[in-house]
Amino acid sequence: DAGVIQSPRHEVTEMGQEVTLRCKPISGHNSLFWYRQTMMRGLELLIYFNNNVPIDDSGMPEDRFSAKMPNASFSTLKIQPSEPRDSAVYFCASRLGATQETQYFGPGTRLLVL
Amino acid sequence: GENVEQHPSTLSVQEGDSAVIKCTYSDSASNYFPWYKQELGKGPQLIIDIRSNVGEKKDQRIAVTLNKTAKHFSLHITETQPEDSAVYFCAAWTLSGSARQLTFGSGTQLTVLP
């Protein structure tokens, strides 16, 4: 099993640019989560999907953030326009189903906005 | 909503000694408590979990205990080794709005000194 796959692993961009982070969940998993991790705020849940449908996006910090899941094997998290305070590590996680608790994390994307 | 507090934030132990990390939660409806280990540059990895119908669970050198009445749970690592050095996160799975999700503690940086 390849596990959760995220790309890119590292991203450096300038303030104002659009950033797109990508995630491929574990095959057969029906729930997908996007987290942000910073030293100051720890692990924060941004949004999650069940069966490709967004369930809770209350953690999305601003309208500059958007997430999509066009199919069961792919999701994107987009920041437009990016700001230096968006610099963080962004993790994607997946789980088997809505009633299965165990989440499996990807390796993360380290984002630096200059 | 759920609040998960984790202590200590940093912990240093000598190789071979035991390490204990404690978490408390606020929502009595929480019923699943995983522990994740995050090594530098990697995503959190599930190491052990416990459900609310069990008081203790052990897996080799790692054990987790749960006190539902007091609403706290702990991670115990015995015979610590340098490779146990990492950040450890506790979490509680609970109902948030109309859906269930994990709420994470703030993490404990464990350093095992050789």
Give chain B positions within 8 Å (CB) of A33: 101
pLDDT interval class at B98 (50, 70, 90): low
Give the number of C-alpha atoms closer than 13 A to the C-alpha of residue B19, restricted to the C-beta side: 29
Distance from CA of A93 to the nearest CA of B (A): 9
**Interchain proximity A107–B99, CB inside 8 Å:** no
Q: Give the nearest chain A residue to B89 (CA atoms).
A: A43
Give chain A positions within 8 Å (CB) of B102: 45, 101, 103
- Burial-class residue A71 by CB neighbours within 10 Å (0-12, 13-18, 19+): exposed
Nearest to B96 among A33, A56, A91 (CB): A56
Nearest to A101 among B32, B42, B106 (CB): B32
In this predicted model, what pLDDT tens digit does every residue of B2-54 receive, in sequence order?
789 999 999 999 999 999 999 999 988 888 899 999 999 899 999 999 988 77
Beta strands B19-25; B32-38: pairing state? unpaired
Give the pLDDT score at A42.
87
In this predicted model, what pLDDT tens digit does every residue of A29-48 receive, in sequence order?
999 999 999 988 889 889 99
